Structure 1
Amino acid sequence: MKEEEEEGDSSLQQASALIDALISSSYSVPSFAGKWQSIREKLGKLNSGLSPVDTSSKGIPELDILLQSLIATVNQTQLLSDDCSNESYRGGKLRLRSDLDMIIAKLNLHIKHLDEIYASGILTRSRAIILSKPGAAATREDMRLYAKDLFSRLRIGGLELRVRALAELNDILSVDEKYVKIVATEVDDGISILITLLELVDLGIQEEALEAVLMIAGFESYRGNLAICGIIGPLVRLLESGSELGKLRAGKILQRMTHNSDNSWSVSGQGGVNTLLKICSSVNSSKELVVLACGILRNISVVVEIKRFMVDEGAISVFANLVSSKEEAIQIQAIEFLAYLAYEDEAIKQKLIRERVIESLVHVLDPNSSYSSKTREVVLRAIESCCFSSTNVVNILMSSGYVNKLLFFLRNGEISIQESALKATSKLSGVSEEARRVMGDLGFMPELVKLLDTKSFEVREMAAESLCNLISIQKNRKKFVQEDHNVSKILQLLNPEEEKPVATKKLLLSALLALTESNSCRRKIDIQFFLSR
């Protein structure tokens, strides 16, 4: 019996050593790279499956038969490796290709045989040596061996053992970035195993595997590995059917993965656009999940074809509804996304008009509504960035009371929202003559004059620019000079002794020159100039 155990132990060591040597040497084989990659992957699986076997498992006939057959296959594979390396191609390349296919088939049979042995209970993980977690001073090799041991348990262990192994894996990934690199680049099929676990029915394993993938996806350099191994499809499916925690983790991973536009096509191809829009439109979706879905849609919409597709699938209606959400984070995501979709795209702007999205955005600015200052500030920026280039949209803004609300926040808003209102005033007054007339009638000019004295260089310049635009209208010029204070303020700011930026003075000088085109205005200026001396 002792001789049988020693013989079994020798076969196990021999098989492991031969596999390691073959994997290492196969990287230098110049021919049939794809087939050798497949062979390496299968050898890695076999090695991982055999690595936990200890001496108490020797002498098992089924295992001994597998080891002897495996050794023969590995030796045969080594001969083929030599033929490919020296390019002797005994029997010809077609024959060699066929031999490699036969090797791949044999390795598949060995993997299946090993799985059957574990499934039968003859060989179990309870007999395996489980490595202890390396300490802080552990070598790179110790860390690599420990990570490989964890993946051996994930590959062939039962449910309980897999759950424990995933917990240990997430622990080491969270405390040391070296483990992330080892798992992503050095453990054979490490990422593929995690992806396989995402497809299991058990929600606990799904969630823990997602946590591991999430940490790997936190490093941009490893996201390509995840994409190549096929992570996108399982993530989209988990967004549809996973647990609440699983959906959140899948969403976070997809948000990181879609920073690369190449992955956007994979998300769309897997039905991700409709899944994400469904999340955004469902009353049962959590706030955090909706925010993630908005972020992913924003990422993938950089691809013009995908943006068009999501608009055709009803994205504008979905996000228009989200504008009225009670959750500030969702409102802001929806507003910014609608503005992004419509930016420099007249066709989409027409859709915004037809679905009355413009009016919904203006409603957010109603001082009597319950929207936060932050949300209103985002609306002001969104309207300013995408609506002023379209005559139709400007007309809708004018008829919906937008200019009145702009004036309100120019007078009463907090500093940040006041600056956003001023920026919108400056831009709108520069593109629409009708807007300039309305602004003059409503009383924008006195407010702009007040802002000429603020400390902020940017605010002073925008106020001066807006004032210059408004004074280009004759009716506004007459209104402006009716208030002596207005003219005296401009003259004061143009005084050489006043330390004002050159750009601001140039704008004010342009305004003053515009005022002199009218005889009555010119007389007012002369009077104020005389009084100021």
Structure 2
Amino acid sequence: MPPSAAASSSSSSSPPPLEEITHLLPLLLLSCLTVKSFHGRWHHLRPKLLRLSSSLSTISTAPQNPLLHHHLLPSLLLTLRSLTSLSDCHLPSPPPSKLLTQSDLDLLLKSGLLSISNAIVLPQPGPASSKDDLAFFVKDLFARLRIAGPDFKKDSLDRLLELLHQDDKNSVAVSRDGDVACLVHLLDCGNHSLVRERAAEAVAVLSAASESSRRTVFEEGALGPLLRMIESGSPAARERAVAAVEAITSDPENAWAVSAYGGVGALVGACGTGSMPAARAHAAGALANIACFDDARRAMAEEEEGGGGAAAVGALVELLGSGTAAARANAARCLGILASARGTAFRDVILVCGGLRRLLELLREAADPETTEHALRAIHSLSASPRAARTLSSSSPAFLLHVAELVKNGNQGCQRVSASLIGNLSLADETKRAMSGCMPFLVKMLELAQKSVQAQEASARALVSLLSVKANRRDFVRDEKSLSRVVQMLDPKNECGVCKSFPILVVIALTTGGSGGGCRKRLAAAGASQHLQRLVDLDVAGAKKALQRIMGNPIKNIFVRKLERVNHIIT
């Protein structure tokens, strides 16, 4: 109810609201029997007025509740006055706004605030509260949100946020028993700024709590008002709104709608230095959520053109150097997705903006596995650019040794991306020699990556690259465990899930170059020849070449064996 209406209804020149309501109700009950227009509606309205009359009879003994006496009763009085005006109207079609009277009374009665038991503020349900108690509390909160003034709306939203923060399971009750559409309506710019902020926070918590509550928020149309709030709200409101958008767009089924609402520019703007640190982090996360969609990338490209060539990417690269830990991780994730897109446009812009250097710094400084993986994936995506690949191949040994260390001790994602980088880059022999310590881990990756052909290929290519160095081949065959694993993977009877072509590539790499003799002997002694012969019979690609490499030149082998025999006799 507008404050002016409340003031006029409670002014000293007018009787108290309860007194006037008590006077109007008997007149309205009589009108229900005599009115001519919309007789059916009046017939349904009469029981509601009777219930209202019964509830009001207990008000004099009820506790003094500010919501009841300062908001609900004045609002009820305005509704009854409208109803009185409607009962005096004899036109065939009364004014459209009057048709809301019945639903207004429904709301007032259903809220339960007119009964003695609910005339006071309900206690916050505890963790052990029953489902019915929780549902009743939620319905009461939303009744207050629908009919109370700004101050009571803020109080009710605070209690709602307390409930949501108490337990993620409460979000299910709120989305099921509450009125999420009412919550979304509070995001509109016509509401008090503090009400909008708290409503945005509640929407953000709901969206992050569960898939079902997130879907409810999206289906009730929250995304549009939230994006508008990001563009025009207060700094605090923008932070809460962009957090909600990040949570909503975490589901791909929702993320596509941001570009449909024209909200990409708002998110790009929220990444800038004018926003609060937390808002920048959430905005980068939301951009990462939508970056896989062509429409969103096109919108970002348009932002590029409108921002001097580097609006979106420039803001993300800036975050890599000056944002919070969460902002840096989200910016790296988004840049990695953009760099992996078809075409070279985003990769070129990222490189021009200094993104590769910032990503290398982030990789070096990252304190958690998730940030490390995001930075590494972005670097890997950029390595598709020849310019970036040259820079990475000739970069400081510290970076490349870090990559080798991630093969050994990183999480599964970091191991795969690191292996892929080793296989893709043109590294110097000295660098490969320094990275040789990760070879046993690459063999283990190859053996365990049963369900991922991409991971098998990455580890095999990395091994082939490192085994191009003679000293690395010598070390590899001396490692009986690694050699045995490769040979076992060749066995046709071993259904380990590893594509046979990958261990074959490793065998070919081991038997290349000047150290081939010693490697061939060790491979043959480990049983590789027998397995390869069976693979040749099965017509597996590469098996014949690998077998020939192990067996060597037959004539040369006879000569070598005779020479060894002579040397043995002489000694």
TM-score (structure 1 length as normaliser): 0.63
Deviation at 1:371, TM superposition (A): 4.6
Deviation at 1:391, TM superposition (A): 3.7
Superposition pairs for residues 317-328 of structure 1, below 5 Å?
317-325=314-322, 327-328=324-325
What CA deviation, in whole Å up to 9, does each residue of 1:133-192 have, x standing for no partner? 3886768996687456424532xx4x444444444555666685545423327xxx7346
2:409 corresponds in structure 1 to 416
Calculate percent identity across the aligned residue pairs: 21
1:246 corresponds in structure 2 to 237
Superposition pairs for residues 143-154 of structure 1, below 5 Å?
146-147=140-141, 149-151=143-145, 153-154=147-148
2:518 corresponds in structure 1 to 524
Distance 1:291 1:506 in 2: 44
1:372 corresponds in structure 2 to 367
Distance 1:442 1:477 in 2: 7
| 1:104 and 2:84 aligned | no
2:4 corresponds in structure 1 to none
Matching residue's letter, 1:343: S
2:182 corresponds in structure 1 to 190
User: Is the 1:258–1:299 contact (alpha carbons within 8 Å) kept by the matching residues of 2?
Assistant: yes
Distance 1:529 1:6 in 2: 101
1:257 corresponds in structure 2 to 248
2:119 corresponds in structure 1 to 131
Bigger relative contact order, structure 1 or 2 (CA pairs below 8 A, ≥6 apart): 1
1:468 corresponds in structure 2 to 464
2:190 corresponds in structure 1 to 199
Pairing partner for 1:276 from 263, 267, 272: 267
User: Is the 1:236–1:250 contact (alpha carbons within 8 Å) kept by the matching residues of 2?
Assistant: yes
Structure 1 residues 290 and 183: alpha-carbon distance in aligned structure 2, compared to 1, 3 A threshold: same
Deviation at 1:480, TM superposition (A): 4.5
Matching residue's letter, 1:350: D
Pairing partner for 1:339 from 336, 341, 360: 336
Q: Which moved more, 1:295-304 or 1:135-144?
A: 135-144
1:96 corresponds in structure 2 to none
Structure 1: stretches of 5+ with no match in the other structure: 26-42, 78-98, 115-125
Structure 1 residues 254 and 507: alpha-carbon distance in aligned structure 2, compared to 1, 3 A threshold: closer
Pairing partner for 1:9 from 25, 29, 35: 25
User: Is the 1:280–1:318 contact (alpha carbons within 8 Å) kept by the matching residues of 2?
Assistant: yes
Superposition pairs for residues 3-402 of structure 1, below 5 Å?
8-11=24-27, 22=41, 54=56, 66-71=82-87, 104=96, 106-107=98-99, 131-132=119-120, 133=122, 146-147=140-141, 149-151=143-145, 153-154=147-148, 157=149, 159-168=150-159, 177-184=172-179, 190-191=182-183, 193-196=185-188, 199-203=190-194, 205-214=195-204, 216-217=206-207, 218=209, 220-221=211-212, 226=217, 230-259=221-250, 267-268=258-259, 272-282=263-273, 285-286=276-277, 288-313=278-303, 314-325=311-322, 327-346=324-343, 347-365=345-363, 370-372=365-367, 374=369, 375-384=371-380, 386-401=381-396
Deviation at 1:282, TM superposition (A): 0.9
User: Is the 1:150–1:169 contact (alpha carbons within 8 Å) kept by the matching residues of 2?
Assistant: no
User: Is the 2:135–2:173 contact (alpha carbons within 8 Å) kept by the matching residues of 1?
Assistant: no
Distance 1:335 1:253 in 2: 21
Distance 1:274 1:219 in 2: 27
Structure 1 residues 269 and 408: alpha-carbon distance in aligned structure 2, compared to 1, 3 A threshold: same
Matching residue's letter, 2:190: E
| 1:426 and 2:419 aligned | yes
Distance 2:83 2:182 in 1: 24
2:10 corresponds in structure 1 to none
Secondary structure at the counterpart of residue 310 of structure 1: helix
Deviation at 1:453, TM superposition (A): 8.0
User: Is the 2:135–2:177 contact (alpha carbons within 8 Å) kept by the matching residues of 1?
Assistant: no
Matching residue's letter, 1:523: G
Structure 2: stretches of 5+ with no match in the other structure: 1-14, 60-72, 106-112, 304-310, 450-454, 528-571
Deviation at 1:220, TM superposition (A): 4.7
Secondary structure at the counterpart of residue 191 of structure 2: coil
User: Is the 1:235–1:250 contact (alpha carbons within 8 Å) kept by the matching residues of 2?
Assistant: yes
2:110 corresponds in structure 1 to none
Matching residue's letter, 2:96: I
Structure 1 residues 215 and 184: alpha-carbon distance in aligned structure 2, compared to 1, 3 A threshold: farther
Structure 1 residues 323 and 307: alpha-carbon distance in aligned structure 2, compared to 1, 3 A threshold: same
User: Is the 2:157–2:198 contact (alpha carbons within 8 Å) kept by the matching residues of 1?
Assistant: yes
User: Is the 1:232–1:254 contact (alpha carbons within 8 Å) kept by the matching residues of 2?
Assistant: yes
Matching residue's letter, 1:427: S
Matching residue's letter, 1:190: C
Secondary structure at the counterpart of residue 322 of structure 2: coil
Matching residue's letter, 2:290: I
Structure 1 residues 289 and 76: alpha-carbon distance in aligned structure 2, compared to 1, 3 A threshold: same
Deviation at 1:318, TM superposition (A): 1.0
Aligned pair count reads: 448
Secondary structure at the counterpart of residue 281 of structure 1: coil
Deviation at 1:315, TM superposition (A): 1.1
Distance 2:160 2:290 in 1: 31
User: Is the 1:464–1:507 contact (alpha carbons within 8 Å) kept by the matching residues of 2?
Assistant: yes
Structure 1 residues 153 and 290: alpha-carbon distance in aligned structure 2, compared to 1, 3 A threshold: same
Matching residue's letter, 1:344: A
User: Is the 1:468–1:511 contact (alpha carbons within 8 Å) kept by the matching residues of 2?
Assistant: yes
Structure 1 residues 391 and 16: alpha-carbon distance in aligned structure 2, compared to 1, 3 A threshold: farther
Structure 1 residues 207 and 160: alpha-carbon distance in aligned structure 2, compared to 1, 3 A threshold: same
Matching residue's letter, 2:296: I
Distance 1:496 1:252 in 2: 49
Distance 2:119 2:228 in 1: 34
| 1:489 and 2:479 aligned | yes
Secondary structure at the counterpart of residue 372 of structure 1: coil
Distance 2:119 2:385 in 1: 67
